[in-house]
Amino acid sequence: MEFSFDERQKNLETAHQQFLASIELKQQFLNGDYLDSLVTMAEVIVKSLSKGGKLMLCGNGGSAADAQHLAAELLIRLRSDVNRDSIPAIALTLDVSTITACGNDYGFECLYERLVQGLGHSGDVLLGITTSGRSQNVIRALKTAREKGITTLGFLGSNGGEALGVCDYTIVVPSKATDRIQEVHITAGHILMELIENLMLEKDLIKRMI
């Protein structure tokens, strides 16, 4: 298969414009109050961890992958030059058997709610990730978390949707483009994990490994 010069130029321009769009959205993030929200979230999570709590995360599709990605950064390692104790975090995406059992027996919208009921405890923190703010399984999980005395955080997009009203702390990315929102979410997530790790080490809540 051959591609013409015009096709290649068009594709180069598309790639250039998409990178610019991603950069511009992150620039909006820097110019808003988002950094303050991010630091507050880190402090809330560390307070929970210091009292024996844990961080739970959930989302769908790419956001499910982000939830797993971020949980792994705390459980295993975030930075190659920082070896330290494991930090308790769990992605509620869990396993195929759990997901399909819930979908078959109760409905997919009940999945995360069910897991929060079984695994969550008062004093924990739940981070719900939804680019639309309308994911019903995430919203139901956040509602259940509040009922159990679990602090609720949201990485959201667009106008925050229904999820905005059931989160104690939020970051709402001002875009309707799912891919661009996810790019900001994972950047914010990595920074959040680093802030948590730094605070845990500074407060001697975890130890560095030799």
Instruction: Report DSSP state, residue 138.
Output: H
**What's the mean pLDDT in 34-50?**
97
Confidence of residue 29 (pLDDT cuts 50, 70, 90): confident
Looking at the structure, tell me whether residues 63 and 16 fall in a common domain.
no
pLDDT at 172: 96
Looking at the structure, tell me whether residues 77 and 90 fall in a common domain.
yes
Q: Which backbone phi and psi does 151 adopt, to 5 degrees?
A: -70, 135
Written as six digits, the tokens of 98 are: 């759990």
Percent of the chain topping pLDDT 90: 93
Task: Check pLDDT > 90 for residue 159.
Answer: yes
In a domain, 7, yes or no: yes
In a domain, 198, yes or no: yes
Nearest to 166 by CA among 198, 200, 140, 199: 140
| Range with lowest mean pLDDT among 22-26, 65-69, 94-98, 206-210 | 206-210
Looking at the structure, tell me whether residues 16 and 105 fall in a common domain.
no
Does the reported pTM lie above 0.85? Answer: yes
Task: Check pLDDT > 90 for residue 33.
Answer: no
Task: Check pLDDT > 90 for residue 1.
Answer: no
Task: Check pLDDT > 80 for residue 95.
Answer: yes
Looking at the structure, tell me whether residues 132 and 180 fall in a common domain.
yes
Beta-carbon-side half-sphere exposure of residue 164 (alpha carbons within 13 Å):
13
Number of domains, the chain? 2
Task: Check pLDDT > 90 for residue 155.
Answer: yes
- Mean pLDDT of all residues belonging to the chain: 96
Looking at the structure, tell me whether residues 10 and 103 fall in a common domain.
no
What is the CATH number for 91?
3.40.50.10490
Amino acid at 112: Y
Looking at the structure, tell me whether residues 23 and 60 fall in a common domain.
no
In a domain, 108, yes or no: yes
In a domain, 8, yes or no: yes
pLDDT at 210: 67
Identify the domain containing residue 16 by its residue range.
1-31
Amino acid at 10: K
Q: How far is residue 13 from each of residues 5, 16, 166, 180, measured CA to CA in Å?
A: 12, 5, 41, 17
**What's the mean pLDDT in 82-108?**
96
Task: Check pLDDT > 90 for residue 30.
Answer: no
d(CA 66, CA 155): 11
Task: Check pLDDT > 90 for residue 208.
Answer: yes
In a domain, 208, yes or no: no
In a domain, 209, yes or no: no
